[in-house]
Amino acid sequence: MSIKNDKINEECGIFGGFCKQGNIAPYIKCGLLKLQHRGQEAAGVCCGDNKQNVVKNSGLVNFALDNSVLKNLEGNFGIGHVRYSTFGDDRKENIQPLKVTYMGEDVSLAHNGNVSQAKNIREKFERIGEVFLSSSDSEVILKRLIFSLKKKPSLWTFEEVAKCLEDNFSLGAYCILLYLPNRVMAFRDTFGYRPLMFANCSEGYFVASEDVAFYGLDVNEIIEIMPAQGIEITKDGYEIKTFSKDNNICQCVFEQIYFSSSASNIFSQNVYNTRIKLGEMLFKSEDNNFSADVAIPVMDSGLGCAIGYSQASKIPFHLGLVRNNWMERSFIQPKQEKRSLNVKQKFIPIKSVIQGKRVVLIDDSLVRGTTSKEIIKMLWQCGAKEVHMRSVSPKIVNTCIWGVDIPTKEELISYKKTDEQIAKQIGATSVKFLPQEALLDVFTGNVWCTKCFKEDENEIFLP
């Protein structure tokens, strides 16, 4: 995997559907721009009617999907994708949507998540002579569908596709957009690990990773596609269908803590309100004698958390770090010195807020410590009197099998370390994490995956 600074790496984002009048490509681009936080490596759009045309490139949406290339795309149906590589490298062949022509018809796929069976299925295909053009597990899904259904894509039914996914990728965490001739289908796995939202709009019918992607549309209704559900969209309307009753719901807490936009509603909870609550709970876990002069967030996902911490503690909230919005949210930097430089370019400290103050620095998580160490160094250089690091997630001590790129255990800063040892390593006066039991007050019910907080390899759900 590629480790991007101190953060857990973003997931992919998907957007697609049907536009009632005119070309869908501008709507897809607009939706992907609002999902840019989910992936900055590459972006792609596939649209058309009888023939599907694909434009995809490395980089951010505005660069990868420049208007000069989008103007050649036409059609009412289409799908799009912003990519962070959870499986497979970042070469161009892996950029989605993936399109193939089978029996004279085009079919394309965009995928958010990770399917654990992809490697074994790929090896089986290769042993019988199949050739793969990419290293992405998304191509495995598409080839599996073609191999199983063995008929023109226009004849594929929702039920047949769902059964193939359930039979072959039951241990996967996926949200899939499938673009068939004059139809778009979407599927959310039985665990519901990643979110999938649908909007019935005056402009058309659209599916996306987050409901923030629908902002700006004339929305009549927004519906969350539930685990083991999917939707089939045609020019005549849409139908939401349940394809399995054996769902064992396992939603990722980091969608709320870090991945998703603050403006989104994920798993029936508003992300911003969740982060406010996490900040409040973090302060309530502090020692009674703890005090500071200023609470500063690590932007952007730490913003709501710091506001909640400040409201609960009465410690004044200030933007002591200004984020450079022209920098990507995360960036691959293979060498330590380049990762450190990236942090300095991404954050600009406000000295007047920091100098002579006891600072409590609020972030969503501590993964490897690179970003936190560099930020804390900045605060000391600006004359901070004390720097207390606080994380609104518990210690991350385990890896993830569900498509979240968390480093190996040995690279995790919290793995087999005390708070005091972590504080010394990143140069902080003190470090504190949200206790695991405090999550129960925010993430209720036995439907949340918190495996990364638990050293037990087999434990997934909250107790």
Tokens 């089939």 correspond to 232
Q: What is the dihedral of CA 446, 165, 187, 404, to 10 degrees?
A: 60
Nearest by Cα to 256 from 284, 239, 275: 275
Nearest by Cα to 392 from 442, 461, 459: 442
Q: How far apart are CA 196 and CA 268, in angstroms?
A: 11
Contact indicator for 82, 111 with CB cutoff of 8 Å: no
Q: How far apart are CA 72 and CA 377, in angstroms?
A: 49
How many other C-beta atoms lie within 10 A of the C-beta of residue 4?
25
Instruction: Write the CB contacts of 317 (distance below 8 Å, at least 6 apart in sequence).
Output: 294, 295, 296, 297, 306, 307, 310
Catalytic residue among 12, 175, 449, 452: 12
Task: Using alpha carbons only, give the angle 421, 424, 425 rounded to the nearest 5 degrees.
Answer: 85
Cβ-count burial 170-200 (b if 16+ within 10 Å, e if not): eebbbbbbbbbbbbbbbbbbbbbbbbbbbbb
Alpha helix stretches (DSSP H) within 240-350: 254, 271-284, 303-313, 336-346
Helix axes 370-381, 419-426, angle to 10 degrees: 60
The answer to whether 12 is a known catalytic residue is yes
Q: How far apart are CA 303 and CA 306, in angstroms?
A: 5
The edge-to-edge listing of strands for the beta sheet with 430-433 is 294-297, 358-363, 386-391, 430-433
Alpha-carbon distances of 245 from 227, 228, 315, rounded to whole Å: 9, 7, 48
What is the 8-class DSSP label of residue 350? -
Q: Give the catalytic positions in this structure.
A: 12
